[in-house]
Amino acid sequence: MLIQTSASTSLRLPSPEGGSHQIKLVAGPKPEASAMGWNRTAYAAAHVVANPLADNDPWLDVAIDWDRTLAFREHLWSLGFGVAEAMDTAQRGMGLDWPTSLELIQRSVSLAKAGGHLIACGAGTDHLQPGPDITVDDVIAAYEEQCEAVEATGGRVILMASRALAAAAKGPDDYARVYDLVLGGLSQPAILHWLGEMFDPALEGYWGSSDHMMAMETCLSIIKANASKIDGVKISLLSAEKEVSMRRRLPPSVKMYTGDDFNYPDLIAGDDHGYSHALLGIFDPIAGAAARALGALAAGEQTAYQEAFGPTVPLSRHIFKAPTRFYKTGVVFLAYLNGLQDHFTMIGGQESARSTVHLAEIVRMANEAQLFTDPDLTASRVRTIMAARGWEA
């Protein structure tokens, strides 16, 4: 049952059509873990918390608040999620460099091991700048360097898509060569990550083709040739049809991890031919609702599953709207509004990547999805952000 709150939780927000509208914030359920566990593996790709008081150049230097960043991972683990570390949600390639990513991985894996928590970590080639002189062999060496560093911590590798490979590869055979060699050198099965160009324009034509269905053929052939080295594959193409098509053709031992922040409820629920596990950026800001949904699914309560997840879908589609790569701004904004960090400052200055109206719509949709557990705190913080942007809420 929703709890109506005081007049201080009434907000006047700018609307996309111009003008304004009034909303009243309500208190949603407190996030908690499911008593019976889940029947899906679910990773939340976690954001990093910037240090807002560091004397640095935010567009050039990385400054992390380690205590808050690690506390947020503890929050996700406490609800039952695995953490997908140092991924694009953590602004990998958009402010988070490889040296800081490695420190993040080392700290998070150590914490996960101490608590017996699930974690997997992004390994890519982002320390290698794409260019005309970069060869496929350079890409292989870069992948191997990061994979070795991740595995040295005891973490499972998420093999991230490579901008350098997208630039250097001449066709599908180069992708097969790179992945065969890199996967062959791992000590435990990895999760492959097919990140679509809507998330990163530099990955256009990955797997050797701009046609996703042709690219899928190459990806599937690589998976089948290396199935013993692959735990699963995460695809982020924002197309349920493409994901289901690929899911039905995977080897039985290889999981499909949905990365579809538009269609996740149906993909996780599945159909008569199978279902997807999850590795999602949207699970960061909707962790409480997602935990309720996954608990309901495991209990066979389909209505409760849809009631928990359904209202989050419009919010997720808004947060991940084009240009999709700026979705991290909405993720961090909601962490701030829910009291999971004390400021709305991001590495790389990315708090400025979305408009004031966009942020106002996040507030409205998150309220409809019952994501705010302390409406008074949320309202106060909304007013602070809106005032800094020239709007009196």
In a domain, 380, yes or no: yes
Average pLDDT over residues 62-74: 98
| pLDDT at 37 (0 to 100) | 92
Is residue 194 included in any domain, yes or no?
yes
**Can you give the pLDDT at residue 386?**
98
Note whether 23 and 47 are same-domain residues: no
326, part of any domain: no
Q: Is residue 46 pLDDT above 60, yes or no?
A: yes
Assess whether 220 and 296 both reside in one domain: yes
Answer yes or no: do 58 and 16 share one domain.
no
Instruction: With a cut of 60, say whether residue 218 has pLDDT above it.
Output: yes
CA distance 140 to 251: 25
Question: Model confidence at 216, in pLDDT bands (50, 70, 90)?
Answer: very high
162 within domain boundaries: yes
Average pLDDT, the chain: 96
Confidence of residue 205 (pLDDT cuts 50, 70, 90): very high
Distance CA 118, CA 191 (A): 13
> What b/e sequence results for 200-231 when a residue is b if at least 16 CB atoms lie within 10 Å of its CB, and e otherwise?
bebbeebbbbeebeebbbbbbebbeebeebbb
Least confident of 5-9, 138-142, 253-257, 381-385: 5-9
Q: Is residue 320 part of a domain?
A: no
CA distances from 311 to 11, 26, 58, 188, 367 (A): 20, 14, 35, 37, 10
- High-pLDDT (> 90) share of the chain, %: 96
Q: Given a cut of 60, is residue 1 above it in pLDDT?
A: no
Domain shared by 261 and 361, yes or no? no
Residue 4 clears pLDDT 70, i.e. is over it: no
Residues 277 and 165 in one domain: yes
44 and 23 part of one domain: no
Residues 187 and 261 occupy one common structural domain:
yes
Confidence class for position 35, pLDDT limits 50, 70, 90: confident
The pLDDT value recorded for residue 3 is: 42
pLDDT of amino acid 7:
59
Residue 180: burial class (beta carbons within 10 Å; 0-12, 13-18, 19+): middle
Whether 7 and 59 map to the same domain: the answer is: no
Give the domain range for residue 348.
1-28+338-393
pTM of the model: 0.96
Whether 323 maps to a domain, the answer reads: no
The percentage of residues in the chain with a pLDDT greater than 70, rounded to a whole number, is 98
Query: pLDDT band at residue 36, thresholds of 50, 70 and 90?
Result: confident
Do 108 and 79 have their domain in common? yes
Q: What is the CATH number of the domain that holds 129?
A: 3.20.20.70
Whether 116 and 207 share a structural domain? yes
Q: Which of 291, 310, 329 is the last residue of a domain?
A: 310
235 inside domain: yes
Express each pLDDT in 320-332 by its tens digit. Answer: 999 999 999 999 9
Number of domains in the chain: 2
For 371-384, the pLDDT digits (tens) are 999 999 999 999 99
18 has pLDDT over 60: yes
Listed in sequence order, the residues at least 6 apart from 89 whose beta carbon sits closer than 8 Å to its beta carbon are 45, 46, 47, 281, 284, 328, 331
Q: Are residues 6 and 70 in the same domain?
A: no
Q: Tell me if 213 sits within 8 A of 220, measured CB to CB.
A: no
> Would you say residue 387 has pLDDT above 70?
yes
Regarding whether 238 and 257 lie in a shared domain, the answer is yes
pLDDT digits (tens, 9 = 90+) for 269-328: 999 999 999 999 999 999 999 999 999 999 999 999 999 999 999 999 999 999 999 999
Residue 6 confidence (pLDDT): 55
Among the candidates 295, 310, 325, a domain finishes at 310
Instruction: Note the pLDDT tens digit of each residue in 91-101.
Output: 999 999 999 99
pLDDT for the residue 315: 98
- Does residue 110 lie in a domain region? yes
